[in-house]
Amino acid sequence: MHNPFIPVINSLLPEPHASLLAGILFGVRADMPQSFFQALVDTGTLHIIALSGMNISILVNLTAKITLFLGRKASSILTICLIVIFVWFVGASPSIVRAAIMGSLSLLALYFGRWNWGVLSLFLASGIMLLIDFSLIKNLSFQLSFFATLGLILANRKVQRQQKSGPLQQFIFFIKENLRYTFSAQLFTLPIILFNFHRLSIISPLANLALEWVIQPIMILGFITAIMGFFWLPLGIVPAWISWVPLTYFITLTDVLAKVPLASFNFY
């Protein structure tokens, strides 16, 4: 199914901003300039445009918070319905379907109080998709999505919640948590990157730490841009201008870090 939001994004944003936003929101990278794609490889941030459930997670969290007053059961049902509508609108690509199934199962796991269902939901969602189309096992986006998600889930298994403390302690905690998630996602996607691109990124931890904090604002602004522009293109102009700022930060920093001497090296 054709994704109706891609033309909207392409009409409202220049390249590589448009293709980066499409990659982050929908896992689509067909129109991405090769030079910027290579910069993502060199900085070890390619997994960011491989849909790994992050957008579904944001969708789930926002909807759950908005509908929580209706009760946990009603909130869960409404959130799952919204996920189904989202998949129907954007098109049932492999990465989106996997992320949607996992998001729904994770929501049910949260409802029943079974936090350890995260890994099970990932394997179940991926297993169902492979039963339907086993050729997905060779799909790079599917591989990156699976292993990045697995790394994030495992990194989150024994999270110690931050107690109330001062601003400095909270900032240190934030940095430590981001580093832990970054290293975990990198560790699990590293074999895929090495096998497909024969390149090892030395600057990857720094790049991910500097870039990942801006993903959520990009996604929220991107969704607003795509949805408003879908109903009437001029409505998407203002949120597109706002989203251009964090997108430019992401692109500029990626290009700069990719040019750092010895940032990455090839091996054969």
Query: What pLDDT sits at residue 53?
Result: 55
Query: What pLDDT sits at residue 193?
Result: 78
Can you give the residue ranges of every domain in the chain? 5-155+165-266
pLDDT digits (tens, 9 = 90+) for 52-109: 555 566 666 667 667 777 777 777 778 778 888 777 776 676 667 777 776 676 666 6
CB 7 within 8 Å of CB 18: no
Query: What pLDDT sits at residue 13?
Result: 94
- Integer Cα distance of 2 and 176 in angstroms: 40
Query: What pLDDT sits at residue 115?
Result: 57
Residues of the chain with pLDDT under 50: none
CB 145 within 8 Å of CB 52: yes
